Amino acid sequence: MFNFNKLSEVNKCRSKLNEYQDFPEHGDLELLSLRSNIDQGKELIIEIGGFRATLKQISPPSCSPSADVSRLTTGIGKLMDQVSVIATIPTNYKPLAGVVCEGGAEAWIFGDNTTITRIDMHGTVRDTVSTTCRSCPGGISVTRGKELIYSDRNSRTVNIVRHGKSETMITTPQDWTPFRLERPQDWTPFRLGRPQGWTLRRLSCTRSGDILGQNMKQEIYKDGQGNPIFKDGGYSLYMSENNNGDVCVSDPNADAVVVVDKTGRVRFRYDSKLARRKKSFDPRDIVTDALGQIIVTDINNNCLHILDQNGQFLKCVDDCGLERPLGLSVDSEGRLWVGLYEKGEIKVIKYMEQS
């Protein structure tokens, strides 16, 4: 109700409602966009009034994990009571120093010369790459884009092969030597401490594409009490990263497998006593599979040790003619490719049941 004394003014009032009824259904509104030329890995902070936003340019993934990151656990059941050898592949590398699977039917291999070769399940050579190494590569890996990477311990570089030619990706710090490359999983880049007397056999890159960057995020050498985690000695370390972020290290100097979490805390050590082997434990290459199980070669007992991700011993694989197994990889089908050092052969082993 209006309280207004001038009736004439009230009579003159006319509604303008009709003027606003024909509002356009679609307005030509221009939405604002924000563009930035920030460098990859750098952050841009924007403040507007009481609002604050942080933008970060993220580089696309380039490296793939030990058994491809896209692998699924669907169809994979439990460990087989009796494993089976799918194939025995002869190679021209004697000794055979390393094996890295590419997909489910091929692998890159290398030995004690300057070449790296890709072979299929039948032993057919699909490709051969000449490296820039003076002697032999320290290790190899494959990116998501199927590009070959190898390390050169003499020049302290990690190199990528593109269009048949090698390009230097990284030159490591003066006191570090790239030796063995791993296709890792999802963890922040860090390095294991390297005291005088031993070297690291595996270099790791992350899903984001980092491969032992110059800017170190974390260094693991001592435990919470200040004691060395790894034993000094003449043998190199091997390592792999598990699905839960643990770093699994094969330490031949200590005859043990050491597993640390992302913070560097030692979760457990495995010394093979439960496996009850005849000879002393001599661990070498180490990988993890889709179920988080840890598999390590035992070159002294001619077998593989399989643990769960908490260090519980599950079984030994010792009935496949594994004579001095050294190289180890998991293909995209969940099978083990085991390189026999002296014989120059690869055993492809099915060890998981299908659910």
pLDDT per position as a tens digit, 309-355:
999 999 999 989 999 999 999 999 999 999 999 999 999 999 998 76
Residue 335's DSSP bridge partners are none
Cα three-residue angle 324-330-331, rounded to 5 degrees: 130
At residue 273, φ and ψ (nearest 5 deg) are -60, -35
Q: Give the confidence band of 264 by pLDDT, cuts at 50, 70, 90.
A: confident
Alpha-carbon separation of residue 285 from 23, 110, 141, 236, 331 (angstroms): 72, 14, 14, 10, 15
pLDDT at 215 over 90: no
Q: Are 96 and 345 in contact (CB under 8 A)?
A: yes
HSE at residue 86, side-chain half, CA atoms within 13 A, is: 18
Residues in the chain: 355
Closest Cα to residue 179, out of 154, 162, 160? Answer: 154
- pLDDT score recorded for residue 114: 92
| DSSP 8-class letter at 219 | E
pLDDT per position as a tens digit, 199-208:
445 444 444 4
Look up residue 216 and give its two tokens: 């170190």
Ordered structural domains, the chain, with CATH: 76-354 (2.120.10.30)
pTM of the shown model: 0.71
Cα separation, 185 vs 243, in Å, equals 7
